[in-house]
Amino acid sequence: MNIIITGASKGIGKAIAEIFAEEGHTLLIGSRTAKSLYDTMSGLQNRYPQSTIKAMPVDMRKKEEVVQFGNWCLGFGTPGILVNNAGIFVPGSIYNEPEDQLEEMIHTNLYSAYHLTRTVLPAMMEARRGHIFNICSIASLNAYPNGGSYSISKFALLGFSKNLREEMKPHGIKVTAVCPGATMSASWDGFNIDPQRIMEATDIAKMIHAATKLSPMAVVEDIILRPQLGDL
């Protein structure tokens, strides 16, 4: 099966790539930083020689690069799974965050998923199969202090997921919104976090993997995960 994963060079995206690579799939991975992406590609290929790992650097903030990446993925065949994981977290408040922060969050966290999905959907619809995962956030569900434009963008991504799910029902394509709470990833770099208070990236990967194992008649619409001791 061909599996597309964005933001795959670290954190949740890398954990998702690892769990599917172990099964011997063809992984088509993208992220903005070429070195870390290619290091991830070679590392996965060495650890899981039964899989085929292909990588293409892509700035998911830029529509033309997203479309190019999607068409590159289609060159390997119709994807069975698409994981829209690319995103960025910048804290702030609406009243005093930098002037262009909303645009940055929307381009990175929403438009990236929108344009990539639209690029690969025609092939998936023709095949009448597939599963799309949008990595949203607990911030998609509830406002919180210092959430600002990040939370706005994640609310929008959840709305995108819900609309897409309704549209894809007649076409045999599943859509799952994944809403993780605090997870050990680059978003928390610089914060002094007790490891007992934050989830592991593999926790999210395991839930996504499990959701792909259901019969064609069932879909996990939403996955909500929080640290056992509650949100940070």
Q: What CATH number does residue 217 fall under? A: 3.40.50.720
Walk along the chain (232 residues) and give the pLDDT tens digit of each residue: 999 999 999 999 999 999 999 999 999 999 999 999 999 999 999 999 999 999 999 999 999 999 999 999 999 999 999 999 999 999 999 999 999 999 999 999 999 999 999 999 999 999 999 999 999 999 999 998 889 999 999 999 999 999 999 999 999 999 999 999 989 876 666 667 777 788 999 999 999 999 999 999 999 999 999 999 888 7
232 found inside a domain = no
230 found inside a domain = no
- Note the pLDDT of residue 181: 93
14 found inside a domain = yes
What total of structural domains would you count in the chain?
A: 1
Phi, psi dihedral angles at 28 (to 5 degrees): -115, 105
Q: Does 95 qualify as catalytic in the annotation?
A: no
80 found inside a domain = yes
231 found inside a domain = no
Helix 63-74, helix 112-127: angle, nearest 10? 30
Residue-range definition of the domain harbouring residue 139: 2-225
The catalytic position among 48, 111, 114, 150 is 150
Spatial strand order of the sheet with 81-84 comes to: 52-57, 26-31, 2-6, 81-84, 131-135, 174-180, 222-225
- Note the pLDDT of residue 230: 87
Rounded Cα distance, 28 and 82, in Å:
10
Q: Among 39, 141, 135, which residue's Cα sits nearest to residue 83?
A: 135
